[in-house]
């Protein structure tokens, strides 16, 4: 173990000490156990699945290296490659020549957004050199990102994520199914892909919000053709009838589902808060809008308490709790609400009747423009993938603590749901090829008892949090 890894492990042990001091989920705390990395072993799934409930907890805009660069045993890095800056722009960046720079430790809140659409991906990817992140332009002012992407978050600030990674499974080779931003990233989580006809797929964000069937008239998606021709804002209106989603498979088999989305403020100009099913016409204009797509997202706490948790759930954060780097905090002290929100959801599940039958998948929808050193496993997918790595945590009583190195992608979650509930499928090419996350589990083991995840804020804090009226993400 090198100095960098040893330092991270020391931080992890310190976090363990903090865990005993701050369990604010409204329940009694329990001591956290931190296993030395040498005891982390990979377990392969065996036996029939005891998983009756899959909960997908979605966060926003982070690369793997941005959150877990220093995690012991994971494929992270302390340094990043920067490309040479064109002569006319060299004055913008402190390193105008190609070199290697250290990743700087940084706060979870950045105060600015980084470019992360498909065109930005191609620049950062740089034909596999993974050194063009400094050449991507900041969306609002057009200046180069320079060293802004080359940061990792202080582990103390994201303590719940590191505790979850230590207690359960950290998957360190999860790639985005499409190399794009949030709009299609969330479509991939419900449909496995975005092919709208044999020759093209939707890609990128819309440039306006609300997103989906509530978008302003004349809104068009971006598309990518099967020949990888990228055409921004030249696709259909984002109210799709062209492909099925997991909703169709679940409904056909009588398997229950819900999509928990943030509160909608009727007086806000953003009244139709974006969610993935807002872009699916059969849901947005059908009876399941308001029954299966529900608001606010804290209704999951009620369903857990009342015994009405569906078999498949998506839990979407509010902007303040989303980890999106640009979202301002409620006050300047609340810079770590995302990890605390996730801890509150996991604790509510873990302390409920559903723990012994659940699999919780926590993942970040897209890379958010942040540096990652691992080149995508392939780029020739005609839907614009694979993209860069995103963090993912798998929490269940049927896993042992380990870092899972299997190559997954966003559509791996879709495929796991298809197979676990015997829904049929695949829906599209990505979930046909993807490796499901099944091998991270051991279904033959005795269910592990839940240990409370430390959180600075109680569940009541989020139940009483004032709705922001903002969209979850605008990119």
CATH of the domain at 332: 3.40.720.10
**202 lies in a domain?**
no
Give the range of the structural domain holding residue 169, as residue numbers without chain letter: 3-81+154-178+244-463
**60 lies in a domain?**
yes
Contact 423, 416 (CB under 8 A): no
Is the previous residue joined to 296 through a cis bond, with omega within 30 degrees of 0?
Answer: yes
Provide the pLDDT for residue 34.
Answer: 31
**125 lies in a domain?**
no
Rounded Cα–Cα distance for residues 225 and 332 (Å): 44
**265 lies in a domain?**
yes
Whole-angstrom Cα Rg for the chain: 21
State whether residue 85 is helix, strand or coil.
Answer: coil
Give how many domains the chain has, as a whole number.
1
Q: How far is CA 290 from CA 242, 261, 263, 305, in A?
A: 23, 10, 12, 20
Provide the pLDDT for residue 46.
Answer: 53
Per-residue pLDDT of the chain (475 residues; tens, 9 = 90+): 443 444 444 444 445 544 444 444 444 333 333 333 333 333 445 568 999 999 999 999 999 999 999 999 999 999 999 999 999 999 999 999 999 999 999 988 877 789 999 999 999 999 999 999 999 998 878 899 999 999 999 999 999 999 999 999 999 999 999 999 999 999 999 999 999 999 999 999 888 877 889 888 999 999 999 999 999 999 999 999 999 999 999 999 999 999 999 876 544 444 445 689 999 999 999 999 999 999 999 999 999 999 999 999 999 998 889 998 876 444 545 678 999 999 999 999 999 999 999 999 999 999 999 999 999 987 678 999 999 999 999 999 999 999 999 999 999 999 999 999 999 999 999 999 999 999 999 999 999 999 999 999 989 999 988 765 555 444 4
**107 lies in a domain?**
no
Predicted TM-score (pTM) of this structure = 0.90
**96 lies in a domain?**
no
135, 266, 272, 264: which is closest to 206 by C-alpha? 272
Residue bearing tokens 């907890």: 57
**18 lies in a domain?**
yes
Rounded Cα–Cα distance for residues 423 and 264 (Å): 32
Contact 51, 358 (CB under 8 A): yes
**315 lies in a domain?**
yes
Rounded Cα–Cα distance for residues 472 and 451 (Å): 30
**Could you give phi then psi for residue 364, rounded to 5 degrees?**
-105, 135
Residues in CB range of 87: below 8 A, 6 or more apart = none
Contact 353, 308 (CB under 8 A): no
Buried b (16+ CB within 10 A) or exposed e, 376-396: beebebbbbbbbbbbbbbbbb
Provide the pLDDT for residue 265.
Answer: 53
């Amino acid at each position: 173990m090198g100095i960098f890894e040893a330092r991270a492990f020391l931080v992890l042990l310190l976090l363990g000490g903090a865990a005993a001091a701050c369990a604010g989920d409204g329940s009694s705390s329990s001591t956290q156990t931190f296993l030395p990395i040498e005891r982390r072993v990979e377990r392969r799934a065996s036996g029939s699945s005891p998983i009756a409930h899959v909960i997908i907890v979605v966060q926003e805009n982070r690369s793997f290296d941005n959150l877990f660069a220093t995690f012991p045993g994971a494929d992270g890095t302390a340094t990043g490659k920067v490309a040479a800056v064109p002569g006319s722009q060299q004055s913008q960046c402190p390193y105008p020549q190609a070199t290697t720079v250290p990743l700087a430790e940084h706060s979870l809140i950045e105060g600015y957004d980084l470019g992360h659409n498909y065109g930005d991906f191609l620049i950062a990817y740089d034909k596999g050199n993974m050194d063009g992140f400094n050449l991507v332009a900041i969306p609002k002012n057009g200046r180069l990102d320079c060293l802004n992407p080359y940061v990792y978050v202080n582990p103390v600030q994201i303590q719940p994520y590191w505790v979850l990674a230590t207690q359960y499974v950290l998957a360190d080779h999860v790639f985005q199914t499409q190399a794009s931003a949030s709009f299609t990233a969330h479509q991939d989580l419900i449909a496995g892909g975005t092919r709208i006809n044999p020759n093209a797929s939707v890609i990128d964000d819309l440039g306006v919000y609300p997103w989906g069937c509530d978008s302003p008239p004349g809104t068009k998606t971006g598309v990518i053709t099967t020949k990888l021709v990228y055409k921004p804002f030249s696709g259909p209106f984002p109210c799709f009838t062209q492909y099925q989603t997991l909703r169709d498979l679940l409904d056909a088999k009588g398997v229950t589902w819900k999509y928990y989305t943030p509160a909608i403020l009727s007086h806000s100009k953003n009244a139709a808060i974006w969610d993935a099913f807002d872009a699916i016409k059969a849901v947005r204009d059908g009876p399941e809008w308001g029954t299966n797509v529900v608001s606010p997202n804290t209704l999951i706490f009620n369903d857990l308490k009342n015994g009405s948790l569906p078999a498949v759930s998506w839990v979407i954060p509010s902007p303040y709790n989303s980890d999106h780097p640009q979202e301002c905090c409620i006050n300047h002290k609340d810079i770590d609400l995302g990890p605390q929100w996730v801890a509150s959801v996991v604790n509510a599940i873990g302390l409920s009747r559903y723990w012994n039958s659940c699999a919780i998948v926590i993942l970040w929808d897209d890379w958010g423009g942040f540096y990652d050193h691992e080149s995508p496993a392939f780029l020739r997918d005609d839907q614009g993938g694979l993209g860069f790595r995103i963090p993912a945590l798998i929490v269940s009583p049927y896993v042992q603590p380990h870092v899972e190195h299997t190559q997954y992608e966003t559509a791996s979650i879709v495929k796991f749901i298809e197979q676990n509930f015997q829904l049929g499928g695949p829906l599209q090419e990505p979930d046909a090829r993807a490796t499901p996350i099944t091998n991270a589990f051991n279904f033959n083991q005795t269910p592990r008892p839940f240990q409370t995840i430390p959180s600075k804020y109680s569940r009541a804090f989020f139940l009483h949090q004032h709705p922001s009226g903002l969209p979850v993400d605008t990119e």
